[in-house]
Amino acid sequence: MTIPTLSYHIFPCLSSPDQRTAPQRHQPASKIVNLVPTDRSRGMNADYGAPTELAGPLQQRRALYQPRLPPCLQGATVRVEYGDATTTIDPTGAHAVAQAFPRTYGQRLVTFLAPDDTAGAGKAVDERPPIRVGVVFSGRQSPGGHNVVWGLHDALKAYNPHSILYGFIGGTEGLFANKTLEITDDVLASYKNQGGFDLLGRSIDQIRSSKQVSAAMTTCQNLNLDGLVIVGGVTSNSDAAQLAETLVQKNCKTKVVGVPVSLNGDLKNQFVETTVGFDTVCKVNSQLISNVCLDAISAGKYYYFVRLMGRKASHVALECALQSHPNMLIMGEEVALSKLTLMEVINKICDGVQARAELGKHHGVLLIPEGLIESIPEMYALIQEISILHNNNVPVTEIPTQVSPWAAALFQFLPPFIRRELLLHQESDNSAQLSQIDTEQLLAHLVEAEMIKRTKEGRYKGKKFSSVCHFFGYQARGSLPSNFDCDYAYVLGHISLHMIAAGLTGYMATVANLKDPIHKWRCAAAPLTAMMSVRRHLRGPGAIPIGKPAIHPSPIDLKGKAYELLREKASSFLLDDFYRTPGGIQFEGPGSDAKPITLTIEDQDYMGDIEMLKLYLDKVKTIVKPGCSRDTLKAAISSMISVTHVLTVMSHPLNAELPLYHFN
């Protein structure tokens, strides 16, 4: 558990002198064209894609905002540069990934550069064939998703005005049923820089079963699609990789590419620095948290337990803590790594409450991610037993009687409302409905019981403990996206088109150097298989990879700069009430170009580091040529032996610094 406090001056507003509301490409809303009627029997909203008048002045002004592009994307074409073949981040799982994806594993890293006319990149429009592309929202709604579609559409039309973009209505169900809407300027006018996914909507978050994959392929063939863009998070992009592999095997021409859009921010790896929507969601939640902090100190008698989004990782909670400075933060990664039991977590919170009471403070704010409950070992084991019984179609009423004796004892210990929530049917990915489990109320309930116990024992002499609980799980998902998310999503939309035009499949659109100004962003395409690993039985040495390769949520790096910054201020954060008030999202003026703190303080330029390595290797080749002195040659050989030995040791399964995808 981290109980951090951060000084106000550590995180000044990040702003840029370059403020803009350029309306160059904005077109007023007009009538929709060729809207394919939806099938209400499948639960698809007939209003998806319908032109709407933007009711509020802020919505109207945001529609005028023109996202910026890095130099390499400002023309109709790009120069495609192919790098080396890729591997996987987990050396022990590379063979399993290669076996599961024989056609798409090991593809080369691709970067997009400004076109070089001398290389023939400046073809006339009529020399570039029109492209037919489909786009589907697969993940949960996340601010900025509409700008992916907008960027894809603009790039598509610039490439060839006769190109066509289809949006699948109702998410993946619309993809399976071939329910489409042709995306035009008129259709997009009401959705530029707007929140939500209501342009197309979404449904189940999977393209997994043989039937689903077959239906998706049939749709691609019927529409004669050159490319399919899947917008979503870790699960959606894992499915995109499998669909791409299948289409290659079936000789289907449709190229499948993914775009990292997820409010949880857990799709992070060596290629993806953050996801679209994460910045906006954290800013909105941080404003709400800071409001709660000021309410707490004003009344001086309540502890606020605030649960935030974050199923498998605590990225949202960490970012919001850095932005708003609450008194305590319970991170799932810390709890799992320390193997803290439920009551140990409760006692640590109570210790914090008691320490504050000794200073005359009987209020506070505590943040927790929704995935915390799965990070507690005994709770995780209980949830797993319930999940197995669900998968075996055991009736809900009989599950409590069929779990193991120790699980039954834990189940009965929990409050009735938690017992009911644990028995809810699973999500589409067979995981527990964590958003429906009131973990914040469970903690508040148990903390209150422990404080009463300490009072009776004479260990606590402060005022009666009182709590107020909140779950900020849905309030930010439909927010107007920040400038950063608008720009980032629009850029990824452009990259998606250039990936398809280059004939790439099984790739994800990526941007590096995101913490720098846009003109320094590096645009690339990374193979989805390079982001995959195989889940492990245990986190310890010698763990045997099992299961199916997939892109897994990336947890908080407990050795990273963001976490270290939090730890440095933990004690003062607990005891001081120096709350930070970031306010609402700024779209113009100071603060409008602020980016996530966790993004700006980390060194994540993986693509730049790859280029630096190539530069040094080229220098070695230049120096060590036939004819060089024997001493130079021997020095080079000795150095290379040392380097390869170190790298071999580091990449060994017992020593590899692998992402801790699953602590339990």
648: number of Cβ within 10 Å: 10
Per-residue confidence (pLDDT) for residue 424, from 0 to 100: 86
Per-residue confidence (pLDDT) for residue 428, from 0 to 100: 63
pLDDT above 70: residue 17: no
Per-residue confidence (pLDDT) for residue 652, from 0 to 100: 59
**Domains observed in the chain:** 75-116+129-276+481-531 (3.40.50.450), 278-478+555-575 (3.40.50.460), 603-651 (no CATH)
Per-residue confidence (pLDDT) for residue 429, from 0 to 100: 63
pLDDT tens string 134-164: 999 998 899 999 999 999 999 999 999 999 9
Per-residue confidence (pLDDT) for residue 301, from 0 to 100: 94
Q: What is the 3-state secondary structure (H, E, C) of 197-211?
A: CCCCCCCCCCCCCHH
> In this structure, is the dihedral angle defined by the CA atoms of residues 622, 625, 630 and 633, taken in order, positive or negative?
positive
Per-residue confidence (pLDDT) for residue 640, from 0 to 100: 86
What is d(CA 403, CA 267) in angstroms, rounded to the nearest whole number? 33
Query: Quick check: helix, strand or coil at residue 179?
Result: coil
Per-residue confidence (pLDDT) for residue 411, from 0 to 100: 92
| Percentage with pLDDT > 70 across the chain | 87
What average pLDDT does range 471-481 have in this prediction? Answer: 94
pLDDT tens string 59-81: 999 999 999 999 999 999 999 99
**Which of 373-387, 500-514, 605-619 is predicted with the least confidence, judged by mean pLDDT?**
605-619
Q: For 229-271, give the DSSP string.
A: EEEESHHHHHHHHHHHHHHHHTT---EEEEEEB-TT----SSS
pLDDT tens string 259-307: 999 999 999 999 999 999 999 999 999 999 999 999 999 999 999 999 9
| Percentage with pLDDT > 90 across the chain | 68
**60 within 8 A of 189, measured Cβ to Cβ:** no
pLDDT tens string 331-370: 999 999 999 999 999 999 999 999 999 999 999 999 999 9
pLDDT above 60: residue 447: yes
**Which position has the higher pLDDT, 633 or 440?**
440
Strand partners, 231: 137, 259
**Which of 25-29, 118-122, 379-383, 616-620 is predicted with the least confidence, judged by mean pLDDT?**
25-29
Share in percent of the chain as helix, strand, coil (round to 5): 45, 10, 45
pLDDT above 70: residue 548: yes
Q: Which two tokens stand for residue 363?
A: 């209020």
Instruction: Identify the band that residue 46 occupies on the pLDDT scale cut at 50, 70 and 90.
Output: low
Per-residue confidence (pLDDT) for residue 54, from 0 to 100: 86
Per-residue confidence (pLDDT) for residue 651, from 0 to 100: 67
Q: What is the 3-state secondary structure (H, E, C) of 416-448?
A: HHHHHHHCCCCCCCCCCCHHHCCHHHHHHHHHH
pTM, full prediction: 0.87
Per-residue confidence (pLDDT) for residue 41, from 0 to 100: 36
Mean pLDDT (the chain, rounded): 87
pLDDT above 90: residue 100: yes
**Which position has the higher pLDDT, 642 or 195?**
195
**Which of 88-97, 200-209, 416-425, 533-542 is predicted with the least confidence, judged by mean pLDDT?**
533-542
Q: Which two tokens stand for residue 647?
A: 């790298």
**580 within 8 A of 290, measured Cβ to Cβ:** yes
Instruction: Identify the band that residue 659 occupies on the pLDDT scale cut at 50, 70 and 90.
Output: very low
Closest CA to 514 of 612, 592, 596: 596
Q: List all residues 6 or more positions away from 217 whose beta carbon is below 8 Å from its beta carbon.
A: 243, 246, 247, 250, 252, 254
Instruction: Please report how the helices 145-159 and 483-501 are oriented relative to each other, as an axis angle in degrees rounded to 10.
Output: 40
What average pLDDT does range 475-490 have in this prediction? Answer: 96
Per-residue confidence (pLDDT) for residue 122, from 0 to 100: 54
**Which position has the higher pLDDT, 495 or 659?**
495
Query: Quick check: helix, strand or coil at residue 85?
Result: strand
